[in-house]
Chains A and B, each alone.
Chain A
Amino acid sequence: MTQSTLTKKIWMALTGLFLCFFLIIHLLGNLQLLIPGPASQQQFNAYSQLLSGNIIIKIISYILYASIIAHVIYAIIITMQNARSRKVKYKYDKRGNLSKWYSRNMGLLGTILFIFLVIHFRDFWYVYKFGSLPLDEHGHKDLYTLVVTVYSELWYVIVYVLCMVALFYHLIHGFFSAARTLGAYHPKYVRWIKALGWAYCIVICAGFAFIPVYVHFLK
């Protein structure tokens, strides 16, 4: 059965919003890196251990992997179908004046984020799950030291922060687009969603970008 254009967009919206929800949890967890002194290491490692042993977290993590994959696959299907809807291009095209650049370049921003995710998974997720991390003094895998070591590289921090800028633009369009796809049409709620979307994107992206900078310069 072929899905309608609207149905495909609903899947984009739902998977995207789940990823938005996940980012909140992820940021809250990462905030523990900001705790001053050695308590930070103990707290962060204990938290990581807690997550990896929890059945609910396990279920959420599988939904997360599925969401990332579905989001990417639907994006590719939608982009390919869209490309077929106008095969003859304009010779002279100034339509860029009519919309925001990031709303037209979600695929590009998404690709940047996907590459970021691959590196991010390799550096932390893979090492934690399948690598041989040394244990800290409480017997937890020492993810904290790994994070601090990785963030001690300046170029890594710069790339990370730039990726958070890409994330910001991807999220800001994605958030409003998802709300529209799900059918938020009343002008009053659209205003609320606008305010909520900006607040969410600024907090999430500034929060994620601040952590490696803080770790790099102060740890």
Chain B
Amino acid sequence: MRIRLKIWRQESNETSGRMESYELKDVNEEMSFLEMLDVLNEQLMEKGIRPVEFDHDCREGICGQCGVMINGEPHGPLQHTTTCQLHMRTFRDGAEIYIEPFRADAFPVKCDLKIDRSAFDRIIQSGGFISVDTGQAPEANTTRISVPVAESAFDSAACIGCGACVAACKNASAALFTSAKITHLVKLPQGQTEAQERVLKMVSQMDAEGFGHCTNTEACEAACPQEISVLNIARMNWEYNKAHIMRK
């Protein structure tokens, strides 16, 4: 198949960027979206043009590294799929495909489609952990957790931190990401001890990074490759309100 690409090119964070057009003939429809970009980059290098930079790692849909806006939607038109799991068969022959980086002031563009998502890391560092002495692995049955609770915590923990929620949100809010981490931990007995401190610190860090307000449009859930539920946001709000009322 033959496709026309419009890709955001930007040398670095200091320079301004623009959309550039490229054309690819002989695209195999079984290629993943990233493989298509690999092919493009090979052709660009042959012509002496700087290849398009983009983030990727596992290419199995589990690491959360890849993630670009494809035709105006995070991770492209296929619902609940990462960019690497999107295949060219989703597009028709002769299609025009717009590729842009995830946009948010908290996610500055480093180069082309590559963005700096360390704001997410700092949110995690502010409280997305439990404080325990490491050492020998404890006896597995010391802390008993029922299957429904474990499953529900795991649903929240499934967030891969790709940033599609922020990219999809009209306010560039990181509420879904932050709430998934908070909810994951608060559902488990190990996480409950620091629940109050955690929610206050993580929300405050989320705000400090410059993400917008959550206005509950639910675009984040629709764009999330892991189908993280917006009810995580409700849980975060609940924990936040509780922490504020109960705080000593």
The reply on A158 being an interface residue by CB < 8 A is: no
Q: Scan residues 217-232 of chain B and give those whose CB is less than 8 A from a CB of chain A.
A: 217-219, 222-223, 230-232
Complex CA distance for A190 and B237, rounded to whole angstroms: 14
B103 x A99 contact (CB < 8 A): no
A21 to chain B, nearest CB (A): 19
Q: Which residues of B contact A84 (CB under 8 A)?
A: 105, 210, 212
In angstroms, Cα B214 to Cα A100, docked, is 15
A81 within 8 A of B: yes
Q: Do B6 and A85 touch (CB < 8 A)? A: no
Evaluate whether A86 and B216 lie within 8 angstroms (CB atoms) in the complex, with A4-B203, A4-B207, A185-B234 already known: no
Q: Please determine whether B210 and A91 come into contact, CB atoms closer than 8 angstroms.
A: no
Distance between Cα atoms of A212 and B218 in the complex (Å): 35
Q: State the CA gap A182–B234 with chains docked (Å).
A: 7
Return B192 CB to nearest CB of chain A, in Å.
15
Select the stretch in A31-39, A47-55, A138-146, A173-181 that faces chain B.
A173-181
* Cβ-based interface call for A95 (8 A): yes
**B141: interface (CB < 8 Å):** no
Please tell me if B98 contacts chain A, counting CB pairs below 8 Å.
Answer: yes
The reply to whether A99 and B219 form a contact with Cβ atoms under 8 Å apart is yes
Residue numbers in B under 8 Å from A92 (CB-CB): 6, 69, 71-72, 98, 100
Residues of chain A contacted by B104 (CB below 8 angstroms) = 85-86
Contact yes or no, B237 A6, CB < 8 A: yes
Minimum CB–CB distance for B59 against chain A, Å: 24
Is A183 interfacial (CB-CB < 8 Å)? yes
Q: Which partner residue on chain A sits nearest B108 by CB separation?
A: A88
Q: How far is the CB of B149 from chain A (nearest CB, A)?
A: 14
A10's contact among B103, B212, B215, B241, by CB below 8 Å, is which? B241
Closest chain-B Cβ to A77's Cβ sits at a distance in Å of 9
Known: A82-B172, A91-B98. A183 touches B72 (CB 8 A): no
List the interface of chain B (C-beta within 8 A of A). 6, 8, 19, 69, 71-74, 98, 100, 103-106, 109, 168, 170-173, 203-204, 206-207, 210-219, 222-223, 230-242, 244
Measured CB to CB, the residues of A under 8 A from B are 4-10, 78, 81-82, 84-95, 97-100, 103-104, 106, 173, 176-177, 179-185, 187, 190
